[in-house]
Structure 1
């Protein structure tokens, strides 16, 4: 058993060190050891002295820390010994992580089985794309729906030879939606690359057909416009030197060309998918078998993807979009997620990552070395450049020495020349949150009154380097004391004219204001801890309810008992 094997995802924090038992007791054969992370203030041997008090099962150095495995019944003593060592900055349990899958609120998302099957929802915990990534949809054009608003670039129509790349058939719009419909916006579906931009290139007419010559022009034009990915949910039975030259031109420009294998249910090559430089996509079912209508052939089909996906038509209505025409933009969307990482991988690297990380599936219809696309595995398989430069990290909010209460939003800055892997938030050394996608933000639930807490950021770059930042805040979840003096007592009758009451408040961290309420409405405020309020009784009804309240500087509120007066 590898005691340090962690599943990528949201870290679970706040598990207290517990246990106990005689030092030196040998662990039972069926008793699992516990891994402790020991943060170091300086390079020092903390394991040697520890071994004189407890049984150290294993240890492993890290950057600025060391992991130490000890028997479960010796954890408490080990922690005590380590914390007494001046070289130790902190001691915490190594935690187990779980997969962090993102569930957007788009109405049709529950029908998008392909997202979960291919672990796109897990990949979203790392990236949801980038506006710098351009995906060309070489198709029937694209209608700009709300799910694509602001991210459709000026296109080109090679059918009518103009700049109006609007969709008059619907196929291209559905294709673009599978790739890039905005997720988590309570609209339509969740595309795969939420922030990437779509370049619409119309090469097919209203009947869904077009010439090889227009397609070739569209591929070349897409490459000239800087497309990172070129999606071709189209094809024909004949090979073409014109198409091969267009694909060669686009790949030479750095684009990854992805094309549909076709829907004839045959093994005969389909073009341009069967051109070796093109990534050919077949269609797989929810059980990872081949749809009967999907073309196949391990000599020319490179990868499989879900072949039926919800998509919006030109009128915005969601319907089931099936075919290798649907599987292809699914792969293009995943490719766009990979293209959005830093440093930007080359098209050949993206292609290799997609195919070598694919989930193996039964049958001989695609190469045994490939399979069905797996977005999370593809992201994880991207090579990381040798990186010895640590990231830079700091707090945005809250401010230093801030008074905080309730659930606090903690915002962080994190930058790196290669890319950020994750940012962790710690409260007094315990991990309380992890974020993997910028902007980095955490919801921290505070507790206690008048308690000083050291917040920490622990930022990891993709090369494994770590940077840290700390900030001291005071947690105050307890309201000020407040009382009302002067004026008639509660239950007084025949109250006339102007009466005066004084609100007096106090709080360890200071009082920001006191307020007078009459019949539940604030009638006067004072910025301070004590004030004499005038109650003009004739301006109110026959019965008055008078009360004062105070706010401390953390925002907590407390009321003094109400008084009821009768005029």
Structure 2
């Protein structure tokens, strides 16, 4: 039986903007400032751990996908079931917008930043230029995507009637290891929408920046998760425009599923689904991407965390604050700082920061960061610094009303100051200087500073 079905085109006419939030990863894409969904769901935090993988294929079963620079090298050959040929080009725009939400290249100063930067897109055209199609073609498209190794199948489409064609196609895809993600629909109703309402499909509703349901988003207990319902996206010409509706929320979730699929060990579709559903924010049901990553099983994880020192000078003194950046696909359990082979401190939460008392040492010290992930994988990075907690040595000589100061220090002397009656009267760079002393001076001091900031004061009584 063939049944006509309308593609879910944009369900709202404008993009709802929200104030930008501080983000761990902020890409250079010019339209990123409008991607409020990325920060609301923690995608920007997840990017510090994973940005996808070319081994992950996300199928866009829609109106086709046009070739764009932001998808260059990652758009696979596909199929057009609407016109029965091998050219899945987009003659509507809907599918291309979905594809860019999923996988537009990030941090390339072009367009938007997709959710899964390195995932590949499989274009499967099942809807015509007007956004219409049949259950038969959709079912064929789902099977085609599964046969070509899609880890995730994104369906921004649907109809009001259930169908054995769709159920069988979904079951076939799941048997091949694919996660099927589908739009809940844009009528603001609780009536089930298909294929989203098929129990094993991940049904996606749309929410606002505050996490409340858009009034046009379908809802009900059959809706599994929600996601940002308005996202900037690129059409067939590459132009960025608002893309709203559960059609937009669905590829957002499909891109997140791609990020999760790119982790090590590769999780099953069931694991990804459980992670997304089990960590959603209640009562809105909005996905929480960092929490979903942490919910994935870590047994078999052999990928070590990434860790790096923050800004720290090569020369230090006294109490020093050492910062570290650490990330892991499944979460960092702890970061430790060692100095000279001895444990200084352990930090279990980001941002990672340590207070190290370098005094009284004056020597080269090897600092070491040890980062452990939840599986126990360890990464070690080292950096040598010179601890200088010794003040310069200063010798003074007086000849009449002239004082000559000579300072020495292993780290180097930066400046000398002449202090007359408690006031600094002369400052000079270097380690040797001759100062003229006023005739009525009651007290004279010379201050010497080394490169670490240590100070030595030579005063008083000078040999004539």
Which among 111, 117, 137 is matched to residue 40 of structure 2? Answer: 117
Match of 1:373 in 2: 287
Q: Is the contact between residue 126 and residue 421 of structure 1 (CA under 8 Å) also seen in structure 2?
A: no
Which among 76, 82, 91 is matched to residue 159 of structure 1? Answer: 82
Match of 1:142 in 2: 65
Tell me the CA shift for residue 190 of structure 1: 1.1
- Cα distance in 2 for residues equivalent to 1:451 and 1:155: 64
- Cα distance in 2 for residues equivalent to 1:139 and 1:457: 48
Specify whether residues 419 and 378 from structure 1 end up closer, same or farther in structure 2 by C-alpha distance, changes over 3 A only. closer
Match of 2:370 in 1: 458
Match of 1:185 in 2: 108
- Cα distance in 2 for residues equivalent to 1:390 and 1:162: 42
Match of 2:53 in 1: 130
Structure 2 regions of 5+ residues with no counterpart? Answer: 1-21, 309-313, 316-325, 351-361, 388-409, 411-464
Alignment of 1:504-519 (within 5 A): none
- Cα distance in 2 for residues equivalent to 1:393 and 1:109: 25
Match of 2:276 in 1: 354
- Cα distance in 2 for residues equivalent to 1:148 and 1:420: 29
Q: Is the contact between residue 140 and residue 203 of structure 1 (CA under 8 Å) also seen in structure 2?
A: yes
Tell me the CA shift for residue 251 of structure 1: 0.3
1:101 aligns with 2:27: no
Match of 1:84 in 2: none
Match of 1:230 in 2: 153
Match of 1:207 in 2: 130
Post-superposition CA distance 1:422-481 (Å, at most 9, x none): 8969684779999x9xxxxxxxxxxxxx97452535242441243546576889xxxxxx
- Cα distance in 2 for residues equivalent to 1:451 and 1:152: 56
Alignment of 1:434-449 (within 5 A): none
Q: Is the contact between residue 366 and residue 384 of structure 2 (CA under 8 Å) also seen in structure 1?
A: yes
Q: Is the contact between residue 156 and residue 164 of structure 1 (CA under 8 Å) also seen in structure 2?
A: yes
Specify whether residues 316 and 463 from structure 1 end up closer, same or farther in structure 2 by C-alpha distance, changes over 3 A only. same
Q: Is the contact between residue 338 and residue 369 of structure 2 (CA under 8 Å) also seen in structure 1?
A: no
Q: Is the contact between residue 140 and residue 205 of structure 1 (CA under 8 Å) also seen in structure 2?
A: yes
- Cα distance in 2 for residues equivalent to 1:115 and 1:308: 11
- Cα distance in 2 for residues equivalent to 1:328 and 1:167: 18
Specify whether residues 162 and 422 from structure 1 end up closer, same or farther in structure 2 by C-alpha distance, changes over 3 A only. farther
Q: Is the contact between residue 265 and residue 300 of structure 2 (CA under 8 Å) also seen in structure 1?
A: no
- Cα distance in 1 for residues equivalent to 2:98 and 2:84: 22
- Cα distance in 2 for residues equivalent to 1:249 and 1:274: 17
Q: Is the contact between residue 390 and residue 467 of structure 1 (CA under 8 Å) also seen in structure 2?
A: no
* RMSD of equivalent CA atoms: 3.6
Which among 216, 236, 244 is matched to residue 293 of structure 1? Answer: 216
Specify whether residues 425 and 168 from structure 1 end up closer, same or farther in structure 2 by C-alpha distance, changes over 3 A only. farther
1:384 aligns with 2:298: yes
Tell me the CA shift for residue 156 of structure 1: 1.1
Match of 2:191 in 1: 268
Query: Comparing both chains, which one has the higher relative contact order based on Cα–Cα distances under 8 Å and sequence gaps of 6 or more?
Result: 2
- Cα distance in 2 for residues equivalent to 1:124 and 1:326: 20
Match of 2:252 in 1: 330
Which among 167, 170, 186 is matched to residue 247 of structure 1? Answer: 170
- Cα distance in 1 for residues equivalent to 2:69 and 2:303: 40
Helix, strand or coil at the partner of 1:210? strand
Tell me the CA shift for residue 419 of structure 1: 7.5
- Cα distance in 1 for residues equivalent to 2:150 and 2:347: 36
Alignment of 1:512-527 (within 5 A): none
Q: Is the contact between residue 305 and residue 377 of structure 2 (CA under 8 Å) also seen in structure 1?
A: no
- Cα distance in 2 for residues equivalent to 1:394 and 1:297: 43
Tell me the CA shift for residue 212 of structure 1: 1.0
Match of 1:341 in 2: 263
Match of 1:491 in 2: none
- Cα distance in 1 for residues equivalent to 2:331 and 2:216: 42
Structure 1 regions of 5+ residues with no counterpart? Answer: 1-98, 363-370, 396-403, 406-413, 437-449, 476-507, 509-567
Which among 217, 223, 227 is matched to residue 305 of structure 1? Answer: 227
**TM norm structure 1:** 0.55
- Cα distance in 2 for residues equivalent to 1:204 and 1:195: 26
**TM norm structure 2:** 0.66
Q: Is the contact between residue 205 and residue 223 of structure 2 (CA under 8 Å) also seen in structure 1?
A: yes
Match of 1:17 in 2: none
Helix, strand or coil at the partner of 2:133? coil
- Cα distance in 1 for residues equivalent to 2:334 and 2:52: 18
Post-superposition CA distance 1:378-435 (Å, at most 9, x none): 1111122177x8959999xxxxxxxx99xxxxxxxx9x9x97858969684779999x
Q: Is the contact between residue 116 and residue 256 of structure 2 (CA under 8 Å) also seen in structure 1?
A: yes
Helix, strand or coil at the partner of 1:314? coil
Specify whether residues 200 and 425 from structure 1 end up closer, same or farther in structure 2 by C-alpha distance, changes over 3 A only. farther
